[in-house]
A and B are shown apart, each in its own frame.
Chain A
Amino acid sequence: MTEINCKICNKRINFDPQNPDTYISRSESGNLMIGRLYTIRLSHQTDSGSSHINVVVIDENGEYRAHKDYYEEKISAKGAPDIWNKLQRFIPLELRLYLSLASDEEKNEICRSIEPFNKTPKEWYECLNELRRNNPNNQLVTFLAAKWGFIIGKGKELLNYKYEPSSWSYPIYLRLQARFAPSRELILIAKRIDFKSFPLIIQLEAAIAKAEVFLRLSSYDLLEQLYDNCQKEWGDQTSIEVKTGLMLLQGYYGFRLYFLGKINEAIDLIEPVFNFGQLLGNREIISVVGNFYAAVNQSSGDLEKALKIFEIVLKVSVNMGDERTHAVISSNMSVIESKQGLYDQALKRQRAILELPIVNEEFFIRSSLMSIIAETLFISERYDESEELCKKVLSEENLPTYYKLDLLSTLKRIAGKTDSLELIDFVRNNLINGQDFLASPVGNIFMHDLQAIEGELRSNWLELIENLQEEREIMFKNQSIENASDIEIRLAEGYFKYFQETENLEYLNHAYNHLDLAKTIAIENQSYLDLCRLVLLKGLLAAESNLPAQAKIYFEEALRTAQEYNLSGLEKEINENLEMLNSGIIERSADSVLRRMFQRLTFRKSEDKRSKKKSVIYSLFIGTQDSAWEIILKNEKSGSLNDTIYLVGIHDLWNNIRKIMKQQQVNYFTVRRGAVLIENSAHFQLCALCDQLDYLTRLTIQNLLPELEEFSFRHIPEELEDKILKMLNKNLGKFSKVE
Chain B
Amino acid sequence: MTIVGDGAVGKTTLVQAMLQKTTEYNHNHSGHKVVEDKKVTRTPFMEIESWTYKDLVFQCYDLAGQRIPGMHPLDLLQSSVLSYIDIYVFVFSIDRYESFENLNNWLRLMNLDSRFKHNNIGFILIGNKVDLERNVSKELVHTLVGEGKFFDNYFETSSIESYIGIDSVLEEIVSMGKRLLNLCD
- Which residues of A approach B to under 8 Å, CB–CB? 7, 29-35, 57, 59, 63-68, 271-272, 275, 278-279, 305, 308, 312, 640-642, 645-646, 648-650, 652-653, 656-657, 660-661, 671-672
Contacts and interface: CB of A to CB of B under 8 A. Distances in A.
Contact of A308 (B42, B71, B97, B135): B71
Contacts of A648: 50
Given A32-B113, A66-B135, A653-B59, A661 B101 contact: no
Interface of B: 7, 32, 34-36, 41-42, 44, 47-50, 57, 59, 66, 68, 70-71, 79-80, 83-84, 97-98, 100-101, 103-104, 107, 113, 133, 135-137, 139-140, 143-144, 150
Contacts of B143: 34-35
Nearest to B12: A672
Contacts of B107: 33
A660 B150 contact: no
Cβ-closest 7 pairs across A and B:
A649-B50, A65-B140, A33-B104, A67-B135, A31-B104, A66-B97, A66-B136
Contacts of A66: 97, 100, 135-137, 140
Contacts of B42: 271-272, 275
A152 to B, nearest CB: 23
Contacts of B103: 33-34
Contacts of A652: 50, 57, 59
6 contacts: A30-B101, A59-B140, A308-B70, A642-B34, A653-B48, A660-B83
Contact of A671 (B35, B48, B50): B48
B18 to A, nearest CB: 14
A648 B143 CA distance: 40
Nearest to B90: A33
B113 to A, nearest CB: 7
A646 B34 CA distance: 10
A650 B100 CA distance: 31
B59 A34 contact: no
A32 B59 CA distance: 30
A272 B133 CA distance: 26
Nearest to A35: B143
A34 B101 contact: yes
A650 B48 contact: yes
A641 B34 contact: yes
A68 B104 contact: no
Nearest to B151: A33
Given A34-B140, A65-B140, A312 B68 contact: yes
A31 B101 contact: yes
A645 B135 contact: no
B113 A33 contact: yes
Contacts of B47: 671-672
Contacts of A30: 101
A656 B50 contact: no
A656 B61 CA distance: 13
B80 A661 contact: yes
A485 B32 CA distance: 49
Nearest to B96: A68
A50 to B, nearest CB: 21
Contact of B49 (A29, A31, A649, A660): A649
Given A275-B66, A660-B79, A660-B83, A642 B35 contact: yes
B50 A660 contact: no
A279 B66 contact: yes
Contacts of B36: 640, 642
A63 B142 CA distance: 14
Contact of B44 (A64, A67, A68, A672): A672
B84 A271 contact: no
Contacts of A7: 133, 135
Contact of A645 (B7, B34, B144): B34
A68 B97 contact: yes
B59 A649 contact: yes
A68 B98 contact: yes
A66 B136 CA distance: 4
Contacts of A279: 7, 66
Nearest to A665: B80
Contacts of A65: 136-137, 139-140
A48 to B, nearest CB: 23
A279 B70 CA distance: 16
Nearest to B136: A66
Contacts of A312: 68
B104 A34 contact: yes
B115 to A, nearest CB: 9
Contacts of A642: 34-36
Given A66-B97, A660-B84, A272 B41 contact: yes
Contacts of B98: 68
B4 to A, nearest CB: 13
Nearest to A59: B140
B155 to A, nearest CB: 18
A653 B50 CA distance: 10
Contacts of A64: 137
